Amino acid sequence: MRTQVAIVGAGPAGLTLGRLLENAGIESVILESRSRAYCEARIRAGVLEQGTVDLLREAGVAERLDREGIVHHGISLQFDGERHRIPLSDLTGGRSIVIYGQTEVVKDLIAAREASGLPMLFDTPAESIDLERGIVRHAGNEIECDVIAGCDGFHGVCRESVPAGALREFTREYPYGWLGILADVEPSIDELVYAHTEQGFALLSLRSPTRSRYYLQVDHDEDVDRWPDDRVWEELQRRTAVAGWTLQEGPVLEKGVTGMRSYVCEPLRHRRLFLAGDAAHIVPPTGAKGLNLAIHDVRLLAEALIRFYERGDEVLLDAYSDACLRRVWRCEHFSWWMTTTLHLQPGGDSFDLQLQRSQLHYLTTSHAQATALAENYVGLATV
Ligand code: RFL
Ligand code: PHB
């Protein structure tokens, strides 16, 4: 098989890139190791920045997002048993976020590609990449291409195919993770609540008017079996309690633990391989940036490829890595800062706690500090 762009991975990055290239008349093949059902059911992100929504709209895949997505104009920070609203839209000239699950973004993109009849191969892992000749090998077949888009997530093969020494890596591990549940119950909150407590962090989020998505800080490699539903609810009740408000409980539909890390590799290009999304960088989920960054990368990659195929020059392809990394590092900082401000540091002392409390108090009383949080949270228009 021969194509212009071989896209490895059918997550948000690969699927969005495929759509942007399709709209520009550039050929691509998408190769995915897992089944379609698995990709459509993998519960992850839930917060879309305005820029992400705008891009999905321009790409013609936001019809359901516009119908079902829930627009939020603020979030709350909870500490010392009180909630403080950060009015995101008021602080950012009207920008907002949209609650719409990554599962739904992925379903919409897969449906659009299927409707176009373009090649998208599931259950077919890319096994090796020949960067010299532009070949992706899978299940005894070869895809020959001009460019390889490595959108295969953190554990993919694309980044691994770059020779040792050609990439520089930056990592930070956190000594905690998140236990997340999806519950079949009306969310008890109108806007997201990020809660700092002496027992650890908790986050109240949602997926729809009838589905709640809640998280608890747990140990990095916590065994999910140690958390029967009753224990999860008890701990959520404890960490999110405020006077005059009740957390409604309901059947737990899904439960899982994710360790947290920050990671960046540089540059995002090696010869004809371009890395995008989680294949190139990971952020801890506290800032809700991972999916949004992945979409931003492929926006730039699509623009660069369109220029290359229309005019035959590589100016934007050459600029791709540096252009992505500016936003990547801004989001790395924001996510690290949100994470370390809100989580209980294992082994930390009362000095650490008092610094966090002071920072949270400052954030909720200073216009300048709240604005800094808000503009990062909704997504900086330019970085
Ligand atoms: P993905 O989604 O991991 O997709 C990569 C795809 O590549 C496939 N693959 C291969 N395919 C072919 N051949 C191979 N050899 C392959 N190896 C792997 C994989 O099966 C997969 O389908 O990466 P992508 O597209 O870069 O998208 C990134 C996002 O998924 C990720 O950043 C976000 O989910 C992170 N994230 C959040 N991001 C946000 O913007 N807002 C949020 O609110 C948010 N919350 C979260 C999150 C991630 C979480 N977890 C579980 C990590 C909450 C959580 C709990
Ligand atoms: C989610 O709803 O999954 C979610 C929301 C906000 C975050 C992370 C995850 O910061």
The pLDDT score that the predictor gives to residue 240 is: 98
Tell whether 255 and 215 lie within a shared domain: yes
Residues 174 and 197: their CA atoms lie apart, in Å, by: 18
pLDDT confidence bin for 219, thresholds 50/70/90 = very high
Tell whether 211 and 278 lie within a shared domain: no
Residue 45 belongs to a domain with what CATH number?
Answer: 3.50.50.60
φ, ψ of residue 369 to 5 degrees: the values are -65, -45
The pLDDT score that the predictor gives to residue 383 is: 74
Tell whether 64 and 182 lie within a shared domain: no
- Domain assignment present for 85: no
Atom of ligand 2 nearest to the CA of 285: 8
Is 216 a pocket residue for ligand 1 (Cβ < 6 Å)?
Answer: no
The pLDDT score that the predictor gives to residue 382 is: 75
Tell whether 192 and 253 lie within a shared domain: yes
Collapsing DSSP to helix, strand or coil, 202 comes out as: strand
Is 33 a pocket residue for ligand 1 (Cβ < 6 Å)?
Answer: yes
Tell whether 249 and 303 lie within a shared domain: no
The answer, yes or no, to whether residue 74 has pLDDT greater than 80, is: yes
47 close to 75: Cβ distance less than 8 angstroms: no
Its domain, for residue 37, covers 5-71+96-171+261-341
Q: Which residue has the tokens 């909870």?
A: 78
* Segment 46-59 mean pLDDT: 96
Residues 230 and 252: their CA atoms lie apart, in Å, by: 10
Q: Which of 196, 289, 296, 343 is catalytic?
A: 289
The pLDDT score that the predictor gives to residue 258 is: 94
Tell whether 183 and 213 lie within a shared domain: yes
For 238-271, the pLDDT digits (tens) are 999 999 999 999 999 999 999 999 999 999 999 9
Q: CA 154, 160, 165: angle at the middle one, nearest 5? A: 115
Residue 193 belongs to a domain with what CATH number?
Answer: 3.30.9.10
Type and span of the H or E element at 364:
none
Type and span of the H or E element at 19:
helix 12-23
Q: Which of 214, 215, 320, 377 is catalytic?
A: 377
- Domain assignment present for 17: yes
Which of 166, 40, 41 is closest to 114 using CA atoms?
40
**In this structure, what DSSP letter does residue 33 have?**
S
* Segment 165-183 mean pLDDT: 97
Q: Show contacts of 311-319: CB within 8 Å, 24+ apart.
A: 317/269, 317/274
| Burial of 311 (C-beta count, 10 Å sphere; 0-12/13-18/19+) | exposed
The pLDDT score that the predictor gives to residue 306 is: 98
Domain count, the chain: 2
**pTM summary value:** 0.97
Whole-number average pLDDT of the chain: 97
- Domain assignment present for 88: no
| Burial of 347 (C-beta count, 10 Å sphere; 0-12/13-18/19+) | exposed
Tell whether 285 and 155 lie within a shared domain: yes
The pLDDT score that the predictor gives to residue 348 is: 92
Tell whether 209 and 272 lie within a shared domain: no
Residues 273 and 6: their CA atoms lie apart, in Å, by: 10
Tokens of 320: 């791709």
User: What whole-number percentage of the chain has pLDDT above 90?
Assistant: 98
* Segment 48-63 mean pLDDT: 97
For 350-383, the pLDDT digits (tens) are 999 999 999 999 999 999 999 999 999 999 987 7
278 CA → ligand 1 middle, Å:
6
Is 3 a pocket residue for ligand 1 (Cβ < 6 Å)?
Answer: no
Residue nearest to atom 4 of ligand 2 (CA): 46
5 close to 149: Cβ distance less than 8 angstroms: yes
* Segment 161-176 mean pLDDT: 96
- Domain assignment present for 76: no
The pLDDT score that the predictor gives to residue 381 is: 83
Tell whether 247 and 269 lie within a shared domain: no
Residues 297 and 286: their CA atoms lie apart, in Å, by: 20
Residues 204 and 215: their CA atoms lie apart, in Å, by: 7
Tell whether 209 and 225 lie within a shared domain: yes
Residue to mutate, 15, 40, 44, 127, ligand 1, most ligand atoms under 8 Å from C-beta: 44
Beta strands per DSSP E along the chain: 5-8, 28-31, 47-49, 70-72, 75-79, 82-86, 97-99, 120-121, 128-130, 135-138, 141-144, 147-150, 168-183, 193-195, 202-208, 211-219, 252-266, 269-270, 273-275, 281-282
Is 259 a pocket residue for ligand 1 (Cβ < 6 Å)?
Answer: no
The pLDDT score that the predictor gives to residue 339 is: 98
Alpha carbon 354 to chain centroid, angstroms: 30
How many helices (H) and strands (E) in the chain? 11, 20
The pLDDT score that the predictor gives to residue 323 is: 97
194 in catalytic set: yes
Beta strands per DSSP E along 70-152: 70-72, 75-79, 82-86, 97-99, 120-121, 128-130, 135-138, 141-144, 147-150
